[in-house]
Chains A and B, each alone.
Chain A
Amino acid sequence: MSNELSTKQRKSLIIGVVGIIVVCACAIVAAWAGKSAWSTLFETEGNGTPTGQNATTAELIVAVSPGMASTLTQLAEQFNANAYKTPDGSLMSVHTLTVVPEKMVEQSLANPPFQALAPDSSLWLNQLDRRWVAAHSSDEETSLIPIGNRRFGDPVRYATSPVVIAAWESVARELGWPDRVVGWRDIQQKATTDTTFKWNHPSTGHASGLLATLAEFYAGAGLTRGLTPEAATAQTTLDYVRAVEGTVRFYGEGEDVIVQRLAAEGRNFLDAFVAQEQVVIAWNQTQSGERLVALYPAEGTLWADHPLALLELGASDETPLTANQRRTYQTFVTFLTSPDVQRQLLAAGYRPANLDIRLDEAGSPFAGSTAADWRQPQTTLQIPAASVVEVVQNVWWYTKRPTNVYLVVDTSGSMEESDKIDLTRVALRSFVEQIRGDRDQVGLIAFASEVNTLRSLQPLDDAGRADLNRAIDQLRATGNTALIDGVWEAYTELTLRGNPEAINAIVVMTDGQENNSRHSFAELQQRLRQEHGTSVVIFTIAFGGDADEKLLRSMAEVGGGQFRRAQETDIEELYKIISTYF
């Protein structure tokens, strides 16, 4: 029949149909497998895997305030010695990076060189929060619920310490302790009425310095809470703060440096200073002689509450955190809050965050001591909103004690080596940038074979600042090293033109040996010791390994200042640090 297929045709048809099915099946399977393989090979590459960083790294870098740096670094070393491992076998490690809190906030906003931060107070986290939200306000505007967009996760506290006025016991008794509660006003009154009274607070870049400044603004405004930008900037407030700040001997990096200087210079260096309670306890534990006493201000104080927070990195071109870094952070937090570590912190003078630990338990530095009282403070000053704190920080520059400082710079031939003269120019410009007081004056003296006063003291308004920077840019290295003559010249200028009410200072830097001065160090020393009227502080910097450290140390000692070493890598940072003293 014509409709019926032959056997041969039927076989061919079956084979054809099966063949088509096979081809189709192969195509489907190949596409499915291929898609998966393609996805595996290529698409996962864009799956948040950080580039330029090992995706499994368990190394965590924590930025820490200078005052806590040595303690936290020791604890990080203990943590690392435990050799904790992540589930995938990576070794957890924690490293610290010492950063001033104000700078920590600045760096945390974009591509920080750390993943977690441990400032001395939550105040800084609040500022970070505020600045982060301000910088990402467009994201917030699109959000119906304007919350939860934070740069860091929930912080934990691992130690606390109230900010106190640390005073020698004899000074404290003179102020009325322990029979009555001493306040900020007592210190401020004493400082303005007794010219021999020497006190200090760190710059506003530290919690203790910021609190002391806030206390002055509150007192000046006649308030104990509700400080507003208007009250902080009222003329009567500014006049009051200016009068009090005029009695501050110098500012500086923080209480850790004050303690170093107290140890070096002894009881007469300061009568009182603002610091964490822990500084008082640690001092009394390690030093002999008259003890320090913690005065808890009657008007209230502030807590250095030592928060630790993990940054939520990953914005724009940032390297995101790895899962292992998060694990390291969590493990480190558990380690820091463990009873053993908390007792170590108590032994160091901090109040542990673990509330199970009694402050007056046997062996505690608080037990049986009257120098620090665990029942205190009774009250705290109100911390204004972050915006008001920023106003106070800015206005402080117009109230602080004025500064007259000469930058005395080595421009001998050796400064040409290793780009030292170029790096010095950068460092000097950074120093000038940091000096922001409207009553501050800076001068520039270069010394080589001769001494050259490039700029006499001049105020740093816009024109003055630009002029000084031009002079810095023109520094050239050649000739010998008339170091002593350079300092002699600066000293002469300061005593002739300086203001006894101001902080008068010389910051001298050299990379070599004195070899061309007309004056001897003995003459300079005699002059510094004999001069009356304007007091001049001398800071000395040994740049590199060939500088005459012995001479520089002696110069700093007789000038009541500090000697510091610097290398090519940190000369700029050192000049910035020294600028905080003014």
Chain B
Amino acid sequence: MKRTRWIFVGILVVVALIIGVAIVVQRSGNDGNTPDTELVLEQPETITVRVLTALPVEPWVRSAAETYNATQPTLDGVPIQVEIIPMDGLTALGRWDRNDFGALGADADVANLTAAEKAALASFPTVWIPDSRYLVELANASYKERLGRDVFLTDGEYRARPIAISLFTWGIYESRANVLTSRFGDITWNAIHDAAVAKGGWPELGGDPAWGFFKLVVPNPNKNAGGLAAMVAAAGEYYGRTDISVADLTEPQFQTWLKELMGSVTDFSSASAYTAEDFALFGYSVGDGGQLLESDLLQNMQGILTRWDDPLKIYYPRYVTWFEFPYTIWVGPETSALEKNAALAFQRFLLGEEQQKAALAYGLRPTNPNVSLDATPESLFVKWKDRGVEMVVPRSDAMRNPDREVLLALLRWFELNVAN
């Protein structure tokens, strides 16, 4: 070989050595917690799917995630790990709105993030399962103002898909329910209102004097999305329609009616995000009955029967609100394409027949049409049939999802008239 060629090869070896050393230096500087420089291109050791999960479905989704992780799933040869982060939908919405999770600005360049910026994104949620689709719309509206685009999609591959359904139903202690039905007939918001304002309390209604006044259970709307759903349902029945506007909420007579109704709630301070659990823990002493999520009531039914001297009975309202728990993948650049696709894989797992059947044991109605409510012996719809749970919902009108202005008006009204 000629001398010039030797020199040329030598130079190439030197270049290769320099590049090799630089790579070693660069990798040694990565502590393992810091995401790779290229969020999109580099192959990670593990794909972590962080699922921000609404509380009513959290036990089921967590159990499903454990089962899924145990199957050692992979994507393009990379192991997938699903991590569940429980958070009430309303609290999560507040955190999205304040950008507490640290989404990047509209002009951020993912390729040029500092190590600290990348580390901050390491815990960014991959998926959000809120209680209802309207919470997704509110979060999108918030980000649209900030970034000029949606961050959760409503169509296409990454669109939000409901994973289970649960209705809002009346849960009333049987002794109290018997008195109410004999006096008012059906259990309706108007009947509950009339019981709430009875000056003589239970004795006036025909009940036991020891029961005191009628006590309503409604989740605190600041802590639980169910509180807003209950108020929307009450408004629907008051007006006799399924679509509620801000003008309806500001109507003085309605506000008086709603305030009287909410005035029968014993304690909003201890009404945590787990209202049905509180209902079971403190029993009829804090609430004779209330409109709560069917799945929460079914999950706590055994506890109520174990702890208290009076069983609970379920009734279905005429104006129905419900949660459909949309599985919503974040589409921004804060998570990689691998993470998004891994999130899709877990979504398919949740929607599969096996996990949809498993949801029955948590009192959730499957969204997979192939799974019936009595598909398994563990189904709470089978177990608590004698407590009033119905597989086919009786004649009812479905309330429309409230828009952002209606929700904010309800929250403001609650703050001014009840919370303070």
Q: Which residues of A contact B26 (CB under 8 A)?
A: 32-33, 36-37
Q: Which of A32, A48, A387 has the most CB of B within 10 A?
A: A32
Contact of A30 among B22, B98, B265, B408 (CB under 8 A): B22
How does the 8 Å CB contact mask read for A360-378 relative to B, with 1 for contact and 0 for none?
0000000000000001111
Q: Is the CB of B25 within 8 A of A37?
A: yes
- Whether B367 sits at the interface, judged by CB under 8 Å, is no
- Whole-angstrom CA separation of A162 from B281 in the bound complex: 11
- Whether B71 sits at the interface, judged by CB under 8 Å, is no
How does the 8 Å CB contact mask read for B60-90 relative to A, with 1 for contact and 0 for none?
0000000000000000000000000010101
Give the segment of A146-154, A534-542, A549-557 that binds chain B: A146-154
Q: Is the CB of B270 within 8 A of A378?
A: no
Q: Is the CB of B212 within 8 A of A359?
A: no
Instruction: Knowing A44-B119, A123-B269, A378-B211, say if A387 contacts B420 (CB, 8 Å).
Output: yes
Contact of A148 among B23, B92, B274, B308 (CB under 8 A): B92
> Which residue of chain B lies nearest to A19 when distances are taken between CB atoms in the complex?
B11
Total contacting residues, chain A, CB less than 8 A: 71
- Whole-angstrom CA separation of A55 from B173 in the bound complex: 50
Give the segment of A299-307, A435-443, A452-460, A520-528 that binds chain B: A299-307
- Whole-angstrom CA separation of A143 from B97 in the bound complex: 7
Q: Is the CB of B411 within 8 A of A355?
A: no
Q: Which residues of B contact A125 (CB under 8 A)?
A: 269
How does the 8 Å CB contact mask read for B261-305 relative to A, with 1 for contact and 0 for none?
001111111101110010011101110000000000000101110
Instruction: Knowing A144-B142, A147-B91, say if A379 contacts B215 (CB, 8 Å).
Output: yes
- Whole-angstrom CA separation of A123 from B266 in the bound complex: 13
Q: Is the CB of A380 within 8 A of B120?
A: no
Q: Which residues of B contact A15 (CB under 8 A)?
A: 4, 7
Instruction: Knowing A18-B8, A224-B213, A379-B210, say if A37 contacts B115 (CB, 8 Å).
Output: no
How does the 8 Å CB contact mask read for B13-42 relative to A, with 1 for contact and 0 for none?
011001100110110011100100100000
- Whether B419 sits at the interface, judged by CB under 8 Å, is yes
> Which residue of chain B lies nearest to A15 when distances are taken between CB atoms in the complex?
B7
- Whether B183 sits at the interface, judged by CB under 8 Å, is no
- Whether B376 sits at the interface, judged by CB under 8 Å, is no
* B contact residues, range: 35 or more
Q: How far is the CB of B337 from chain A (nearest CB, A)?
A: 23
Q: Is the CB of B119 within 8 A of A380?
A: no
- Whole-angstrom CA separation of A382 from B215 in the bound complex: 9
Q: Is the CB of A147 within 8 A of B210?
A: no
Q: Is the CB of A378 within 8 A of B284?
A: yes
Contact of A29 among B18, B286, B302, B307 (CB under 8 A): B18
- Whole-angstrom CA separation of A41 from B115 in the bound complex: 10
Q: Is the CB of A44 within 8 A of B34?
A: yes
- Whole-angstrom CA separation of A181 from B303 in the bound complex: 27
Q: Is the CB of A356 within 8 A of B306?
A: yes
- Whether A544 sits at the interface, judged by CB under 8 Å, is no
- Whether B110 sits at the interface, judged by CB under 8 Å, is no
Q: Is the CB of A148 within 8 A of B270?
A: no
- Whether A285 sits at the interface, judged by CB under 8 Å, is no
Contact of A25 among B18, B30, B88 (CB under 8 A): B18
Q: Which residues of B contact A61 (CB under 8 A)?
A: none
How does the 8 Å CB contact mask read for A9-32 relative to B, with 1 for contact and 0 for none?
001001100110110011001101
- Whether B391 sits at the interface, judged by CB under 8 Å, is no
Instruction: Knowing A11-B4, A122-B270, A154-B272, say if A43 contacts B115 (CB, 8 Å).
Output: yes
Q: Which residues of A contact B418 (CB under 8 A)?
A: 385
> Which residue of chain A lies nearest to B29 when distances are taken between CB atoms in the complex?
A40
- Whether A518 sits at the interface, judged by CB under 8 Å, is no
- Whole-angstrom CA separation of A126 from B284 in the bound complex: 22
How does the 8 Å CB contact mask read for B206-233 relative to A, with 1 for contact and 0 for none?
0010111101000000100000000000
- Whether B114 sits at the interface, judged by CB under 8 Å, is yes
Q: Is the CB of B280 within 8 A of A148?
A: no
Which A residues between 151 and 173 are near B, CB-CB below 8 angstroms?
154-155, 157, 160, 162
- Whole-angstrom CA separation of A241 from B353 in the bound complex: 63
Q: Is the CB of A47 within 8 A of B120?
A: yes
Q: Is the CB of A47 within 8 A of B115?
A: yes
Q: Which residues of A contact B22 (CB under 8 A)?
A: 29-30, 32-33
Q: Is the CB of A225 within 8 A of B264?
A: yes
Q: Which residues of A contact B30 (CB under 8 A)?
A: 36, 40
- Whether A321 sits at the interface, judged by CB under 8 Å, is no
Q: How far is the CB of B305 from chain A (nearest CB, A)?
A: 9
Q: Which of A139, A380, A385 has the most CB of B within 10 A?
A: A380
Q: Is the CB of A225 within 8 A of B419?
A: no
How does the 8 Å CB contact mask read for B300-320 relative to A, with 1 for contact and 0 for none?
101110111100000000000
Q: Which residues of B contact A33 (CB under 8 A)?
A: 22-23, 25-26
Q: Which residues of B contact A14 (CB under 8 A)?
A: 4, 8
Q: Which residues of A contact B265 (CB under 8 A)?
A: 382
- Whole-angstrom CA separation of A356 from B305 in the bound complex: 10
User: A residues engaging B (CB < 8 A)?
Assistant: 11, 14-15, 18-19, 21-22, 25-26, 29-30, 32-33, 36-37, 39-41, 43-44, 46-48, 121-123, 125-126, 139, 143-150, 154-155, 157, 160, 162, 181, 224-226, 298-301, 303, 305, 307, 353, 355-359, 375-383, 385-387
Return the 5 tightest CB-CB contacts between A and B, nearest first. A148-B94, A355-B303, A379-B212, A40-B29, A126-B269
User: Given A22-B11, A148-B94, A305-B281, list of 6 further CB < 8 A pairs?
Assistant: A122-B269, A157-B281, A181-B210, A355-B304, A377-B285, A380-B266
What are 9 inter-chain pairs, A to B, with CB distance below 8 A? A14-B8, A36-B30, A43-B116, A121-B270, A122-B272, A123-B269, A145-B93, A145-B97, A380-B267
